Amino acid sequence: MIKLATEADAAFSSFFEEMKGQGATGLRQAAWEAFAAKGLPNRRVEAWHYTDLKAALGKPAPIASAQAGMREIARAHDSVRLVTLDGVFRPDLSDLALLPEGVKVQSLREALAQGAPGVMALVASADVQAEDAMVAMNAALMQDGVVLRIAAGVTLGQKIELATYVSSQDVQSSFTRAVVVLGKDAKATIVETAGALTAAPAQDNQALILRLAAGAALDLVTHVSGQSDKLVRVMSLLAHVDEGASLSSYALVEGAGLLRRQIFARLNGEHSKVALNGATLARGRQHADTTLVVDHAFPNGQSRERFRNIIDEQGTGVFQGKIVVRPHAQKTDGVMQSKAILLSDQATMNNKPELEIFADDVQCGHGATCGRLDKDQLFYLMARGIPRYEAESLLIEGFANEAFQGLEDETLRGFLLGRISSWLAARSK
């Protein structure tokens, strides 16, 4: 039974009335019913125990309207950029003319209006895979985004950036969704950028759906940042990895307000591989939550999760990781690791690793640590004339850099490490 009674519920209901005619009516209706049955997550929902989104959102902001005109958005690295601004895909800000052969791009809004069967099926299956209220809300209210298809057998030598920004000076909410499909044996590097060009307290809900066909390989590099400590952002990554395909993900989260980045990865074929890596930087009263579920559905799958958290001042970090091994997924090899450094007495870190194993021939393990900087290492550096502040920064950089050791693209690795250095340089001495 669907029950919507609060002021927030009424606001979301009006949003749905506004969006339900924007294509994919049946899909939106099913997603809306799924969200309405669950409601906004709070601490009583186990998967959201450390992140009370219902309290953080307060009063839902109106859906963002398209911002007219051109905007200069600085480039951090060389890539073919596809821009979604305030919920709307912007071809005028995107490098469509530079797309390499074998790559096709379409607006999600256009694909939904046309009822493109492949896109509709992917969106529907991803929501079922997640069974999450905020993923369902995203599907019900999605405004626009990018559909990116890379043909079978294509190896891209150039990076493609999916850049999603909020820019309105008003308090608004945006709901964007991107779909990336790699054909059989295709190989690519995708950069996912989630930023804010405004200090307004925006509410942002975005989803990225990945479908990797047999033998495909994808490097996904994610950078999350924002200007406002009142920004509330939920990012959902839904990955479906077929036989022999591999996904390597590297994420740098620079806390801004409240962020929940959640990953739902399904290894859906034998010998498929998933590697999820990330570093989180949080200070002030920022709240950064990384939650993931890796679902081994076939034998001989391999998963690796490695996350590093650096929490300063009164910041809060969350890591919740779950590896699920289904009964027939024998020979699974899964390892999950989360480590955190607390730089102040007021900093908080919540670690919750889990294993759900229903097969008997597997190798799976997890570990989680939380502590301060190593005093012996700090003494060693200071004894050689390095000031304490610089010694701390060296140790923190080395700790965070562990999350990006497997990233082969030197330009992207240098960009991420540079962002870490800049964050450390802004620390109060």
Contact 112, 120 (CB under 8 A): yes
pTM above 0.85, yes or no: yes
Task: State the average pLDDT over residues 344-356.
Answer: 95
pLDDT in the model for residue 206: 96
Mean pLDDT of the chain: 92
Each residue's pLDDT tens digit, 161-191 = 999 999 888 889 999 999 999 999 999 999 9
Pairs from 342-346 (Cβ < 8 Å, separation ≥ 24)? 342/311, 342/370, 342/371, 342/372, 343/310, 343/311, 343/312, 343/313, 343/372, 343/373, 343/392, 343/396, 343/427, 344/311, 344/312, 344/313, 344/314, 346/313, 346/314
Confidence grade of residue 201 (pLDDT, cut at 50, 70, 90): confident
pLDDT tops 60 at residue 380: yes
d(CA 316, CA 337): 18
When pLDDT is averaged across residues 353-361 and rounded to a whole number, the result is: 95
State the amino acid at position 163 in one-letter form: A
Q: What residue segments make up the domains of the chain, in order of their start?
A: 7-268, 374-429
Report d(CA 32, CA 37) in Å as an integer: 8
Cα separation of 281 and 347, whole Å? 12
Average pLDDT over residues 232-258: 96
Q: What is the pLDDT of residue 74?
A: 76
Amino acid at 51: T
State yes or no: pLDDT of 315 exceeds 90.
yes
Q: For residue 248, what pLDDT is reported?
A: 98
Whole-angstrom distance, CA of residue 270 vs CA of residue 158? 29
Phi first, then psi, for residue 195 (nearest 5°) are -130, 180
Distance separating alpha carbons of residues 125 and 139, to the nearest angstrom: 11
Whole-angstrom Cα distance, residue 34 to residue 126?
13
CA distance 350 to 321: 11
Eight-state DSSP code of residue 156: -
Question: Strand, helix or coil at 356?
Answer: strand
pLDDT band of 3, cuts 50, 70, 90: very low
